Amino acid sequence: MNKAETLEIKKQFTPDRCTIDHICGCLVDHEKNKRLIFKKAFDSLPEEEMFKYLDIFQHTLAGTFGKNLISLEFPIDQEQPGGTQDFLLTLRNSKLEDDELVDEFYEKVIANYVNGENYFIILIHAVYDIPGITNDGIMMEDASDNVYDYMLCSICPVKLSKAGLGYNESKNVIEERFRDWIVEGPVKGFLFPAFIERNTDIHNMLYFTKKPEDLQPEFVEAMFGGRAPISAPEQKDIFDAVVQNTIGEEADYDIMKNIHDNLNDMIEDHAEDPEPLELKKNDVKQLLHDSGVPEDRMNYFEENYVKCAGDEDFPLLASNIANTKKFDIETPDVVIKVKPDRTDLVESRIVDGRQCLVIAVDDHIEVNGINVRTFMNK
């Protein structure tokens, strides 16, 4: 799934567009006990309660692709009877009306989701009449040829509200505030089946994690089958290790600046693409070559890549390995922060036999918030 496809489904979680028919929930305590189980027709919920749920569902489809939202493809063997995809498909087809199937789903989550606190599993079923689109991109709400029959799962922490003082209006006193259990925003979730090319794709699903570093690969593998993808922080670590090991002692400032600039240029050139830019091994090799890594060091690239990333050529998302928001230069005593698109202002030069960083200055310098004169305005 891409950003546009996800946004289209996300827009369904509003009061005027909502097509959710059933909602199921299971409250799990920190000892993995099911404390509460319920199933309701979604339109039977009080209006304010419905709004809160819709907000949770929207946040389950929020974030950055490759970091918070990750597309997963089911292995072929998991589409056979008894496989993970087969189970989810059976659950979806039941429209969550089979209590045994729903309870089996809860048990799978509880057995594999790592969390030492209370949490709330929410599962919904909905059917979306997919509107047609004119040649100029206008949706025709009254022209639908296909339907998207899907489930969304959200896993939310349940935490005790903070202790403090509060105003009791009925008694007109300040007193200790009552502490109750609060359902917080989702930290994990998934959409099944996937919504690809504006239609149902039962061979894929979309996984959500609020914290990219907390992917929980064991949970992904147990619930959906196959090998879990590499998390965004792990992709960055792999890329940095490949660069460091390949360049070795030749990692001078200019080469690292070129890698930064070239990678960000690649991202900008593909900004309008529906799918995020991916770099495989040969793409990374070309990036280092184009950035000025000496040929004698490039001879070590293949060996280093396998050592850092393994034998399988997993794609690295450019947005996961690039620093698009900062360009920092650090020495033991000095830190220089440069806007990522203005690396041209800092140059490496040899001055009096020493390597120095030279920063181009126009007519404005501040020192501890105070404007000071430059050579140009003396």
Sequence spans of domains, the chain: 3-229, 233-321, 327-377
> What's the chain's Rg over C-alpha atoms?
26
Which 3 state secondary structure label does DSSP give 341?
coil
Per-residue pLDDT reduced to its tens digit, 325-377: 888 888 787 888 888 888 888 888 888 888 788 887 776 777 777 777 665 55
Q: CB neighbours (10 Å) of residue 298?
A: 14
Residues 103-118: tens digit of each pLDDT: 999 999 999 999 889 9
Angle at 290 between CA 286 and CA 295, to 5 degrees: 85
Provide the residue type at 276 as one letter: P
User: Does residue 378 surpass a pLDDT of 80?
Assistant: no
Q: Kindly give the interhelix angle for 281-290 and 253-269, rounded to the nearest 10 degrees.
A: 130
Residue with tokens 């947005």: 319
- The residue type found at 204 is N
Cα–Cα distance measured from residue 213 to residue 260, given in angstroms and rounded to the nearest whole number:
23
Q: Is the separation of the CB atoms in 289 and 299 below 8 Å?
A: no
**Cα–Cα distance for residue pair 309/316, rounded to 1 Å:** 10
Instruction: Dihedral sign for Cα 194, 196, 202, 203, please.
Output: negative
Mean pLDDT of the chain: 88
- Tens digit of pLDDT for each residue in 15-74? 999 999 999 999 999 999 999 999 999 999 999 999 999 999 999 999 988 899 999 999
Q: Where are the alpha helices (DSSP H) in 23-179?
A: 47-60, 84-93, 99-112
Q: What CA–CA distances, in Å, run from 122 to 54, 113, 149, 152, 210?
A: 11, 14, 17, 8, 16
